[in-house]
Amino acid sequence: MIERVTLPAGYKPSPTEEYMNPYQLEYFRQKLLAWRQELVEESQQTIENLKDEVRDVGDEAERATRETENALELRTRDRYRKLINKIDSTLRRLEEGDYGYCVDTGEPIGLERLEARPTAERTLDAQERWEHMQRQMGD
């Protein structure tokens, strides 16, 4: 369980601070929770859009267009579901004290990388090695 702190207004993690101190952890926790909430709301909107849609569409061309749009909406919703699961997993790592450190090497991932990709689990080098290994296994 991480120590909860109140962030000062406008707080941004700085490389001059101790890495993954309580302020940085709280900053990323709030960032992840806000992102998750945004995705949940967008997913609920997608569901509402699909429910509200009139099913008896006039001609076949319009029906085909609607079906294509619905398929795209559902793919997007599935991506959101996977991303929400990834955010939940990241929040668990944060609570367990593992957040910000590479799952492969244990090295700090770095503030810039986490700012750009808050769900990152690996350093950039470790991620590249992992992706290379995944490609080799897929071949």
80 φ, ψ (degrees, to nearest 5):
-60, -45
Contact 9, 30 (CB under 8 A): no
Residues 109 and 132: their CA atoms lie apart, in Å, by: 19
Give the residue, 105 or 74, on which the prediction is more confident.
105
Kindly report, residue by residue over 82-133, the tens digit of the pLDDT: 999 999 999 999 999 999 999 999 999 999 999 999 999 999 999 999 999 9
List domains and CATH numbers for the chain. 22-138 (1.20.120.910)
Q: Between residues 66 and 19, which one has the greater pLDDT?
A: 19
pTM > 0.85: no
